[in-house]
Amino acid sequence: MLLLSVFQMFILTGDVTSQEICSEYCSPDPNNGVKCDGVTGKCLYGCMTGFGGSKCSIQCCGACNSCSVSPTTSAVVCDSCNDGFYLDSGECYPCSRTCATKLSSSLPVCRPTDGRCQFACQTGYYGNMCDTMCSRNCRNDICNPTTGACTDGCILPVLTGSMCQQACSSGCLNRECDQSGACVFSGCQQGFWGSDCSQKCSPNCVIPSNQLDHVCDQTNATCLNGCVNNTYWGSNCSTSCNNNCVNKKCFFETGTCLDGCIEGYEGSQCTEKWTTNNTNTIIVGSAIGGAVLLIIVIIVACCICKKCRK
């Protein structure tokens, strides 16, 4: 093989000795084995891994697989790095150990140009370089590799928020809620409503004596035990009973006065006034009724008298 390539070189360059000046780290032409310019010694097909410079006479450092000499500073700068490393300002750095590995290897994989993890992160980490730990409040230490949001829920039912770092609303019974803040596990404390139980029931709702019973409906605030003192009505007891109700008391569902109307008013909510027409009608009605009755009495009396005379 060696003889063959030397022979080929001889044929192509016409001068075997010219190839003897080539650095052993010049890469050969795959077809004929020629490595460098026989006169200048410049490698014609690049350098072998780990070497650089025009004559491949520079040994690159560490994980660098090709390097060159900076024309301005004369320093050796790396141009590309081995697998598992990335380039930053002419030097090679290992990919973050928390970058996910390729299936076929155990090396963490990152973008060779800037170190960003290429296949997301190892469990428990997030961020571009996977160098931030998931919140300790994430269940199983699992979080979204990009946002850090806990994807398996929180370690305790009293924690909420994307990273499980907030406390549930104080309106939640036992202060327990899901990750969105909804008090789904135990419902609301007495006197509160809303999905996160942050709203108070109307102060006009009757508060039940049993502390476990709710004051108002947890989804729509409807008072569940009627209105205080029977003096309000409406689904959340926001309307006062009509002033014309006796004692200002009414049924909490309908507003109908509980004990009738005060003098001069009528209707279920005592909103209608007796009109003067009403009074006249009553007077005229009674007058006519009285007259009719009198006539009947007279007629009957006459009849009786006639019978007596016979």
Task: Enumerate helices (H) and strands (E) in the chain, giving the number of each.
Answer: 2, 16
Shortest distance (Å) from residue 188 CB to ligand NAG: 13
* Nearest to ligand NAG of 66, 239 (CB atom): 239
Task: Collect all residues with Cβ–Cβ distance below 8 Å to 276 and sequence separation of at least 6.
Answer: none
In whole angstroms, the minimum distance from the beta carbon of 231 to ligand NAG comes to 6
Of the pair 175, 249, the CB lying nearest ligand NAG is at 249
Supply the minimum distance, in Å, between the C-beta of residue 271 and ligand NAG: 19
As measured in angstroms, the least distance from the Cβ of 181 to ligand NAG is: 19
DSSP strands (E only) in the chain: 51-52, 58-59, 64-69, 76-81, 85-88, 91-94, 125-126, 132-133, 159-160, 166-167, 192-193, 199-200, 232-233, 239-240, 265-266, 272-273
Residues 25, 5 contacting (CB under 8 angstroms)? no
Task: Indicate the residue among 217 and 272 with the shorter CB distance to ligand NAG.
Answer: 217
| Nearest approach, Cβ of residue 170 and ligand NAG (Å) | 18
* Residues at the contact surface with ligand NAG, assessed by CB under 6 A: 202, 204, 217, 219-222, 228-229, 231, 235-236, 238
- The token pair at 234 is 């409406």
Q: Least distance (Å) from ligand NAG to the CB of residue 238? A: 4
Question: How many whole angstroms separate alpha carbon 175 and alpha carbon 224?
Answer: 23
Distance of CA 140 to the CA centre of its chain: 19
What is the rounded distance in angstroms from the CA atom of residue 239 to the CA atom of residue 232? 5
Residue closer to ligand NAG (CB basis): 198 or 235:
235
**Nearer residue to ligand NAG within complex by CB, 170 or 219:** 219
CB of 276 to ligand NAG, least distance (A): 35
Cα–Cα distance between 220 and 240 in angstroms, integer? Answer: 20
Pick between residue 56 and residue 215 the one whose CB is nearest to ligand NAG: 215
DSSP state of 209: S
Least distance (Å) between residue 203 CB and ligand NAG: 7
- Name which of 130 and 205 has its Cβ closer to ligand NAG: 205
- Cβ distance to ligand NAG smaller for residue 159 or 206: 206
Helices (H), the chain: 2-13, 276-309
3-state secondary structure of 140: helix
**Distances in whole angstroms, Cα of residue 6 to Cα of each of 33, 56, 71:** 8, 20, 34
